[in-house]
Structure 1
Amino acid sequence: MHRLLQTVLLAKLSPEQRRAMREAAHQLLSAAKLGHHASSQEWPAYQALLPHILASQAAGSSDTYVRELVTDTVFFLYYWGNHEGAAALARQAWSAWLADSGEEDGHVIRIAKSLSFTLLQRGQIDEAIPLAERALEVSRNIEIDPEDLVDSLCALADARRHQGRFTEARDLGEEATVLARAQFGADDQITLRATHSWGVDLRLCGQFDEALALDQENARQRESLFGPTSFLTLNTLNALSIDMRESGDYPGARDFQEDVHLRARAALGEDNALTLRAARDLAVCRRRDGALDEARELTEDTLRRLVARYGRRHSDSLSTAANLSVDQRLAGDLELSRELGEETVRRYTALLGEDHAYTLLTGANLAATLRALGDPDAARKREDDVARRITAVLGPRHVMTLAVAIGQANTAYARLDFERAHAIDEAGLAELAVVTGADHPLTLACTANLALDLRGLGRGPEAGEQQRRAVAGFARVVRADHPGSSRHGHTAASSAIWRPCRCRPAAATQRTPGRLHRLVR
């Protein structure tokens, strides 16, 4: 029925008649049997029903089935890519249900978590955090279905992750996974949700091998349960490619992610949020694999699409902007890189605070650009501040902290302070060999840097030995035509450290021109 005709008819009804009509509409809605909201094949049915859900004010219903439909619709809107609409519907439902049923009602708890999740995606973190915290607190203190408790643990893990409290998020994800496995088994969809969340947080904590093992099995089970084109399956496959990349398999990660991106485009559409994340992560894979021009082209296109749909403050827009700043630096567009890097640091600071890991790592990338611009003093000042802060936030042995230290060594080398560069690289190499492994590209890059430090100190034989180790290592782990392979008797290492799921920025460092050029990205 046309909305104008609806308005005319409703105007003739008494309040009681309107209420009765609305309840009748809700009963019709509750009879709808829609499929899983993460399946793009089900989206047309949700799209057809959405105008009726909104027009009938279903978000204000007290009917159990209508409330379940509204909650499913919130998630459909998110998976479909309408994050603003998802947050608006969740907020409307949460306000109505809380007033009607109280905070201990199961539907209220679930919609509170849904609202928190959608707000996190939109960068409204301060508003989202208390909702997730209270949902878990209530879930622990009342008799609630184990499924809802698992989901509450995951919701707070999501929130802690956005706050940069990665260890807390990891512990919550592990608790949720252990509980879900005990209650529902390893292959239940509730368990798979918890396992995916735990894998993200393991990766953020630098535990790449553990995340890889979890995501490999989770991807297999999600594909078996939901199918190969489900948003959930593709999301875990995207996470798996990041695990591969951060574990040091640059060629394998790129090949894998090329396929994930193609599948996401075909199943979800080119401008879907997950497709754009897959494109962003594919661009990083291409860069790590040495395809710098292809990486930049894809990053530029992805950022343009993200900003057009979600704005510049969206978390995916920010991480992609940080990536583009690195691409620009590698292409020699240093002023563009500096301007975008400074803007992204400002936006991250406003959104997350100056001590959040993402803010700090974007600042480390900016320092690399300042160094490339010929201002090692400004680079050192920024890097030393970042190093102090990130050590306090993540600890001295986190892979991100170690990557920032490599940047400090690069700046010391650019200042011809070979003693400081050597001290930092020598200490970092010992830690990296343990944390990431002796054949990880980041470890090999540090080895190559140490060779240059030793040569600068006049210790030629030792330098030669370290250089041979680096060259042999890169020959094992990167393609033969990679920029990180040996050339002219020196090593150019293109190395990477860390990028999380929904993917975040990593520190980037670069030796002086004509010596060693290394990306840590």
Structure 2
Amino acid sequence: MSDRPRGAGSHEQFTISYAGFNRPWATWIAHQLERLGHHTTLLRWDPPLSVPLDDALRNLLEAPGRVLLVLDDWYFSLGPRTDEEWTRALRTVVPPHVDRFAAVSVATRALPPTAVPLRPVDLRDLDSREARRRILGRLDVDPAAMPRNGDDDAFAPRFPNDPPSVWNVPRRNVRFTGREWALEELHQQFESGGRGGARVALRGISGVGKSQIGIEYAHRFGNDYDVVWWINAGFRATAREQFAELAPRLGLPVGEQLGERIRAVHEALRLGRPHRRWLLILDSADDMTQVEDLLPEGSGHVLITTLTQDWASTGSIAEIPIKSFTRPESIAYARRRAPRLTVPEADQLADAVQDLPLLLAQTAAWLAANQMSAGEYVALIRGGEANLIGISISSDYPMGFQTSWSITLNTLEENNPEAVELLNLFALFSPEAIPVRLLQAAHPSDLPPHLAALAADPIRWHTALRRLSESTAVRMDYVDTSEAEPYVDNVNMHRLYHSFLISTLTEERRESLTVTACEVLAGADPRRPADTREWSRYGELIPHLEPSGALSSTKPVVRALVLNCIEYLRVRGENRTGLRLCEQAIARWRTRLDPDDPSMLELTHQHANMLRRVGRFREAEAVGRSVVDRLSGTRPADDPDLLRAKNGLGGTLVTLGAYPEAHQLYDESARANMETLGDDAPRTLQVRSNLAIALALLGRYQESLELNRTILVVRERQLGARHYLTLHSGMAYAWMLRLLGQYQEAQSRQELNVRAHHQVMGRYTPQTLLAEHNLALCLRRAGDLDAANSLMSSIMERSAQRQGPQHPETLQVQADYATFIREHGDVEKARELAQSVAVSYRDLVGANHPYAVGTAGNVGLALWKFGERDEALQIAERTLMGMRRAVGDDHPWALGAALNASGARNLAGDEENALTLSRETLERAIRTLGETHPLTLSCKAALSDDLRSLRRGQEAGKLEQETLQQLLEGLGPQHPHTMAVRRRERPYWDFEPLLT
């Protein structure tokens, strides 16, 4: 070997041998050598047991060039191989070929003494620069020619001691065995997707090891990514919570709302900002309909573990079927788990459990801890009755698996009865994340005395958990802290084992454990579902409501927990999950509670609320109306439950466009609350605020303004100027000022209101977005077009992220932005957006709803702009008829529709009918809105235009001068409305969905 380091002029071939665990080291070392112009080959080390170890080492020499061994604990334990075998092989093979072999060590313990001839250099706890220096020095390679910019390549392998920027994956299974074909195929599937990303599903029966393959893949290939994130996808609410938790870890500027966080994560992953390389793992995603909306787009990779073929049937997701272990894998695993087993004994055990990894793990663990001979134990398994435990099992499972688990439980019962008692209690919780931390922290009175004593003794508690981890199909989820030892936060139990445990419980025992589980959950209820600081706790509790029996509990404190969880889901905007929980609770409570029981009424109220929020408006109306009708016949008019029911039904009717009946219900509720609670009581103010909305929707803007002013004054006095309810009242008051044409005061108030919203609530809350929306409309009316455009486009983007593109408040701002850019931007884009909004409203609330009718009219104005006169006229006439049917002839919306219809008639050359409609509309506008309202003045300008078209110039001129004078006095000479009339531009009216 030359004493001169090999540099850029001498390109060599290196073969890098590694155990599967250390692929990240192998790929990183290969990258360093390739940057210097050398050639590398990666060779995974896992020789069959049938090949003697010295022959396996000699086989490495058949590879070209020098052989670099990446040594660690795993490298020496594969097989497994004994220390004697390694000593003999290294002494035999290495010395004659010492110039061909080199080694690096990343082991956590001392290497065998016989590894000395390999002269391994230690890479543990080094940074990348020092590790590179040591590797190149060991290989006698000159580092001088190393390019300086290679580490900046975003797709280069990450240095293994530098973890991904964002990491959330269960701990690695140190006994993971085999499955190399699955890992390699999975890696190839992802690599074949290139920078366009890829999605792959691992499909197989329960217990076959899909999750373990996913964990191993994340650890083995994790250094290829900047973000690796694990999600328990077996329960929709949990999956959404865990997906949303990625938002703050990515540094995204989001609030506390779950929907907002989820949309922000989707956008960040799609764009690859701040990270392009990401791996998302959806574990136990067996019901595709529950979590398919979490699948992100982008350049990253998605790994799904599932029982079903549903994911692959979509055509966009590749599938890798996962079968049981191969027999060599089973033998290797069993001997690693129970070293006392011989190869024939491990083979017998594997045959008895049909190579199913979950069962093999449990049976081998039992043999490792007990002295019964393997033959005797296998005979017991084979002799077990198929129906020993009364659960239905697929033919894919070995018939004796229940027997093997029963033996394990019996042994555990003899040696550690406390652990078995804890295990049985675990069965009453959702298996994906059993909250052991809550159990340990439970009030002693909520636990049986022996479990309370166990929880109070940290040593006994952790001993019991360790025994369960060693002997049963549970996995501990540890929380690592920098200030203390890692602690167990949750326990993950395999679902097949969970079902088995449930089946072993007698009815009496299960009822007793149900009581305990419910008391633990109720004791953990913060009782503050609207407090964002408690949201993580409610997210933790909800998955356990059904398996614990909480939904069927008759205890008031447990029913209160269920209602608080539903309220949390409502406040957080998780409406689909909230509706499902409502329906589950109703199915159980209906047989146990009177319909008028306070808890049942609260649940029914939430049910109607959730139905309305997911767009099932008619069903929400039916639920709400049934309660109002029933209580109206049995309760006094001022009964609080009846008033709440009326208020809830009013909200549904507002959504349906039934404004008169909604107004009636709100008015009745407001009057009753004023008589019983007083004018200024918080509940009264809330109902009166709803009444003000109904008045606005009826077109009674002045009455709405006055009522909002009254509420604002009271709330400023009671709550202070910066309370969120006060800010909402201030926004509603400014909104009405604008609709009444008092633009200057509206803008002044709304600017202050928005500033306060930013300071108190932040930029992303729905209420802040509504406040900014009103300000943007004020800016548009004032002619500050640049500011209006910038603010409105920002609101639209944030609302879509925060609430979704089809949320009513997002559609509201989209509708207004479409009308804005039609006049001050891209006309084609305006038409496309207007059409999209109109279709969305039609699908959401029906074609006859005022919002659907009005936004369809906005499409007609876009066509008008394009000069498509005939279609614009047809739409305008349909809009006029539809709006009159929906809200009446004298409603401001009907007057606006009439203004547009007269303009369309004029444009189409039907001047006489345009004049007739313009004159009628002006008369109605004066009666409804007054002489000087902006819409009335637009009607005057339109009538003047129609008179001019019919060559009645003197009459037209007189009316035009009168209109201009009123505009000058009301809005000023430079206001856009005044200038448009002076330029004789035909006035139009944009439909604007109202604040609700």
| TM, length-normalised to structure 1 | 0.86
Aligned to 1:123: 615
Partner of 1:43: 532
Deviations along 1:466-501, whole A, 9 cap, x unmatched?
A: 112222222233255321123794356687776422
Distance (whole Å) between structure 1 residues aligned to residue 845 and residue 811 of structure 2: 11
Distance in 2 of aligned mates of 1:255 and 1:401: 29
Contact kept, 8 Å, 2:898 with 2:917, in 1: the verdict is yes
User: Which residue is 2:995 aligned to?
Assistant: 501
Verify: 1:413 aligned to 2:906, yes or no.
Answer: yes
Give distance in 2, aligned partners of 1:276 and 1:71.
29
- Asked whether 1:112 is paired with 2:604, we answer yes
Cα 1:83/1:215, change in 2 over 3 Å: farther
Q: Who is 2:523 aligned against?
A: 28
Structure 1 portions without partners, runs of 5+ = 503-521
Identity of aligned residues (%): 24
Alignment counterpart, residue 768 of structure 2, candidates 275, 286, 311: 275
Change (3 A) 1:483 1:392: same
Residues 160-213 of structure 1, C-alpha deviation per residue, up to 9 Å, x if partnerless? 111111111111111111111111111112211210111111100001111111
RMSD between aligned residues: 2.9
1: CA distance, partners of 2:885 / 2:891 = 11
Alignment match, 1:191: 684
CA distance in 1 between counterparts of 2:988 and 2:826 reads 18
Q: Tell me what 1:252 maps to.
A: 745
State the distance in 1 between where 2:734 and 2:581 align.
Answer: 33
The answer to whether the 8 Å contact 1:254/1:282 transfers is: yes
| Secondary structure, counterpart of 1:266 in structure 2 | helix
Q: Does 1:263 align with 2:756?
A: yes
> Which residue of the partner structure matches residue 696 of structure 2?
203
Q: Which has the higher contact order (CA 8 A, sep 6+)?
A: 1
The alpha-carbon deviation at position 80 of structure 1 amounts to 4.7
Give the strand-richer structure, 1 or 2.
2
Matches within 5 A, 1:125-274: 125-143=617-635, 146-274=639-767
- Counterpart contact for 2:815–2:992, Cα < 8 Å: no
AA aligned to 2:815 is A
Deviations 1:394-453 (A, max 9, x none): 221111111100001111222243322222111111111110111111111111222222
How far does residue 222 in structure 1 lie from its aligned partner after superposition? 3.1
The CA distance in 2 between the partners of 1:115 and 1:311, in whole Å, is 22
What is the CA–CA distance in structure 2 between the aligned matches of 1:424 and 1:358, rounded to whole Å? 23
Mean CA deviation greater in 17-26 or 322-331: 17-26
2:490 is matched with 4
- Structure whose alpha-carbon radius of gyration is higher: 2
Query: Which has a greater percent of helix?
Result: 1
8 Å Cα contact 2:854-2:991 kept in structure 1 = no
Q: 1:371: Cα distance to partner? A: 0.5
C-alpha change, 1:349 and 1:216, in structure 2 (3 Å) is same
Which of 868, 878, 881 matches 1:375? Answer: 868
Take 1:487 and 1:102, find their aligned partners in 2: how far apart are those partners? 64
Aligned pairs for 1:459-474 (under 5 A) are 459-474=952-967
Shift of 1:78: 4.0
| C-alpha distance 272-94 of structure 1, shift in aligned 2 (>3 A) | farther
Task: Find the aligned partners of 1:494 and 1:254 in 2 and give their Cα distance.
Answer: 22
Q: Residues 434 and 143 from structure 1, CA distance in 2 versus in 1: closer, same or farther, beyond 3 angstroms?
A: closer
Which of 297, 304, 314 lines up with 2:790 in the alignment? 297
Superposition TM-score, scaled by structure 2 size: 0.47
For the 8 Å contact 1:53–1:70, the answer to whether it is kept is no
Any residues of structure 2 matched to 1:348-427 within 5 Å, and which? 348-427=841-920
Change in 2 beyond 3 A, CA 1:320/1:91: farther
Q: Is contact 2:873-2:904 (8 Å) kept?
A: yes
Residue 326 of structure 1 corresponds to: 819
Contact kept, 8 Å, 2:527 with 2:561, in 1: the verdict is no
Check whether the contact 1:160–1:168 (CA below 8 A) recurs between aligned residues. yes
State the secondary structure of the residue aligned to 2:490. Answer: helix
Q: Provide the aligned length of Structure 1 versus Structure 2.
A: 495
Q: CA deviation at 1:53?
A: 3.8
Could you give the per-residue CA deviations for residues 351-401 of structure 1, whole angstroms, max 9, x where no partner exists?
111111000000111111110110111011111112122212222111111
SS at match of 2:590: helix
Report the secondary structure of 1:4's partner residue: strand
Amino acid at match of 1:269: G
8 Å CA contact 1:471–1:486 kept in 2: the answer is: no
Partner of 1:519: none
> Structure 1: how far apart are the matches of 2:993 and 2:754?
17
Tell me, yes or no, if the aligned pair for 2:899 and 2:988 is still in contact at 8 Å.
no
Distance in 1, Cα, partners of 2:622 & 2:977 = 46
